Amino acid sequence: MAMLHTLLETRNETLVLYSQLVGIRPFKPKLEVQELLQEFCESLVDYTASAHFQLYRFVADGTERRKDIKRIAEGIYPRISAITQQILDFNDKYENEEQLDDFSSLDSDLSMLGEALAERIQQEDKIIEVLMR
């Protein structure tokens, strides 16, 4: 399915950038961190949008008719929405590289974001599994 390919591609790109970003600890206000953080934020938003349009939109707007997908998606959608808000909050905080001169909370913010992304991926995979049947 083409829609799942796009989602998985953006997810993988985001995870690679996340790994690269956490790999350059300690975070100091320098160009390398700022550029990678900016690229990560862009990828993170792309991934979040892709997941919404590829998986959750049909549940959110009520057009999904397959009962097994609808049941699973409705069960996890509230948590996905909460994680989406965490992602958007992270992006709002770090997207503007001109304002990035303080990385004092970046390590803990990335840690919390990593946990949220891991949970989100597990939830998405439940829907993907049912879609692939």
What pLDDT digit, counting tens, does each position of 44-92 carry? Answer: 999 998 887 777 776 666 676 778 777 888 788 888 889 999 999 999 9
CB 55 within 8 Å of CB 127: yes
Q: Which residues have C-beta within 8 Å of that of residue 110, sequence separation ≥ 6?
A: 18, 21, 22
Q: Where are the domains of the chain?
A: 2-131
pLDDT band at 99 (very low <50, low <70, confident <90, very high): low
Task: Tell me what percent of the residues of the chain surpass a pLDDT of 90.
Answer: 42
CATH topology of domain 2-131: Four Helix Bundle (Hemerythrin (Met), subunit A) (1.20.120)
CB 123 within 8 Å of CB 79: yes
**What local confidence, expressed as pLDDT, does residue 7 receive?**
86
Task: Tell me what percent of the residues of the chain surpass a pLDDT of 70.
Answer: 89
pTM (2 decimals)? 0.86
